[in-house]
Chains A and B, each alone.
Chain A
Amino acid sequence: MSDYLYLIPLFPLIGFLLNGLLLGRLPRVVVNIIACLSVAAAFIISVLVFFELKALPPDVRVIEQTLFTWIPSGILQVNFGLLLDPLSAIMILVVTGVGLIIHIYSIGYIAHDPCFGRFFTYMNLFMFSMLTLVLADNFLFMFVGWEGVGLCSYLLIGFWYHKKSASDAGKKAFIVNRIGDFGFLIGMFIIFWEVGSLEFRVVMEQAPVVFIAGGSLITTICLLLFVGATGKSAQIPLYVWLPDAMEGPTPVSALIHAATMVTAGVYMIARTNVLYMLAPDALMVVAIVGAVTAFFAATIALTQNDIKRVLAYSTVSQLGYMFLACGVASFSAGIFHLMTHSFFKALLFLGAGSVIHAMSDEQDMRRMGGLGKHIKITYITMLVAALTISGIPGFSGFFSKDEILWKSFSSQHGHPIFWVVGFVTAGLTAFYMFRLIYMTFHGKERMDEETRQHIHESSKSMTIPLMVLAVLSVVGGWIGMPHIFGVSNFFEHWLEPVMAGGSYEPVSHALAAGGGDVGMEWGLMAASVALVLVSIYFARTFYKTKPQLATAWRKKMSGLHQVLLNKYYVDEFYGAVIVRPLIVFSLFLWKVVDVILIDGFVNGSALVYEGVSESLRRVQTGRLRSYATLFVFGVVILVAYFVMD
């Protein structure tokens, strides 16, 4: 079966080509079937190869497949090669699995849009690009997928391109991502310069030999790669595109801007973990950026009123958690959170889509309320997701988030401050999630009468994916229970062969083995659960039982509230510091350099020739005799000249 690895990205590509080339000529049903079947086929093959990989002994769990040489150019040899190891196996399962569910959901969501063909074409192209990204066996091929998902993200954010805000958001996402890609590219160049290969296997083998651990070169490479990751995975300072990306259709937000594409940065760092282990300073930067982003985005999410924006900032915050995990060298915890997050965040987004659908395209939570009794399935599934993301014990988010918190405390790269930031963020997360739940599903019905009449539960193709994801959100974390629960952490062991020589492992094992530290782990766990419960209680008080309290608090801290509501004025700041000067500089280049200097030179030389010709053309009188006279004079002069000589 592993020989058919290339079929995994190929099926969505076929779906893309069929739907794309026959755009507008296929009936809706056929388009739906092609789109979903291609992803389903990729999912089935992914499951098969996963089990095949699992059957191998842990230390040889690598399946490589080189299709052909893509760029043979001197020492630069780039293959179209696929690499399946425990890390990419997890990724393809998540991508195809969640992707399949969201494709099915999209059938119902996009049912009233005339552009369904274009939508599914882009979605399949995205699946192809994403699978290329995670299956590539070298940096350059990965970069193809990396750019491909960026392109699809742009196309799908601007899917409703007739809306100016949507096409602007698409452009913003693309441009911000380009800034990150620049860092990724430079990092890739330096790697090739130093190692002479772009293949992951070669680079990871050679890295400890070529680079000095902790040296400035490897640190530079890792930081440059991290710049790429901050762009794609929406971290400070390049996170600004993600909240705006909510202009796209909700399934797109769920698939691309929550579950899969935005986690590409985390995946890339986990993939290159050998390099990062050689650069502790870069790891430190990753951890700090992750922690700050997690906290920063969570505070913004507290005050947003648009249901999708709350979720967008929540995504940024959760991605921060993943980077925090990577930054404390606990890559498997980061990937674990990536997986559980893709379940519950996809569920939250799809649930939000269902709410928006029921509310006749209303996204403002201030005009919702009391929806719980009208759309029960959506309510229950979203409640499950909220409990999961908050980290209630038993739900998957609890295991992954707790693992990150514990690792950020106990890892040799960790620090109690990281734990404190993560801990506070966990409380904020629970608060804003339940604020969302209470504002949307509980309390007074604040919508107008006409919208109220139209409230209805979504169709089966939308509710069934919700239920599947709800189940996954609950059980998905059970494969990665912590050691102190007396079970083996399957997920961590599964990823062990990929992770750098287990250099962090002995530390955490030793800590786990020591009696006092087990107590510590229990204690920290209990503390975070307690904080979450308190936060939920506060959210309930503020937004359900005593709404006047929320208003009073908002008045009392109106300054802070304004700052948060306006997202710390970061967009305005970027606008003033980067965009505005750039526009002024571009205007200078346009009006002065281009129009005056370059055009002036070109037009000026033409004007000179025109003037000279204007006076010279008078010589041509058209009179034959004057020509003959001039000719004779010329001959006389010439003859005179030669005779004189």
Chain B
Amino acid sequence: MVPVSAYLIVAIVLFGIGTVGVLISRNMIVMFMCIELMLNAANLALIAFSRSLEVMDGHAFVFLVLTVAAAEAAVGLAIVLAIYRNRETINIDRFSILKW
């Protein structure tokens, strides 16, 4: 049987890749994908704990997270489209007017 720590290591690696991706990427689509990656890392950790502790709460949380992720993707992509129509680019560094 695979120990729970293995799942957790995979989840931490996935979360780390996602975080670094959000921080260094300039492409908004890539940033989105990285955020999805972080969410799924969290999902993986939740399922792993759920199975090891043998309670179903983790499963319920995962469904919640999936729903939120879907909604967030819909809104987020709409924003990306709107920005693209205005600026003809999805480079996030070109969109830094909300300051001072």
Contacts and interface: CB of A to CB of B under 8 A. Distances in A.
Interface size class of B (residues with CB under 8 A): 10 to 19
A611 interface: no
Nearest to B25: A625
Interface in A99-154: none
A625 B23 contact: yes
A179 B100 CA distance: 58
B92 interface: yes
Contacts of A73: none
Nearest to A636: B19
Nearest to B98: A622
A617 B92 contact: no
Given A632-B19, A632-B23, A625 B98 contact: no
Contact of A621 (B24, B26, B99): B99
A456 B93 CA distance: 96
DSSP majority for the A interface?
Answer: helix
A71 interface: no
B42 interface: no
Interface in B63-100: 92-93, 95-100
Interface in B1-53: 19, 22-24, 26
Interface residues of A, number: 11
A623 interface: yes
Contact of B23 (A617, A620, A628): A628
B53 to A, nearest CB: 20
Nearest to B99: A622
Contacts of A69: none
Contact of A625 (B93, B97, B99): B93
Contacts of B95: 624
Among B19, B26, B97, which residue has the most Cβ atoms of chain A within 10 A?
Answer: B19
A185 B95 CA distance: 72
A509 to B, nearest CB: 97
Return the 7 tightest CB-CB contacts between A and B, nearest first: A622-B99, A622-B96, A623-B96, A622-B98, A620-B99, A624-B92, A617-B100
Interface of B: 19, 22-24, 26, 92-93, 95-100
18 contacts: A617-B100, A618-B100, A620-B98, A620-B100, A621-B96, A621-B99, A622-B97, A622-B98, A622-B99, A622-B100, A623-B99, A624-B92, A624-B96, A625-B23, A625-B93, A628-B22, A632-B19, A632-B23
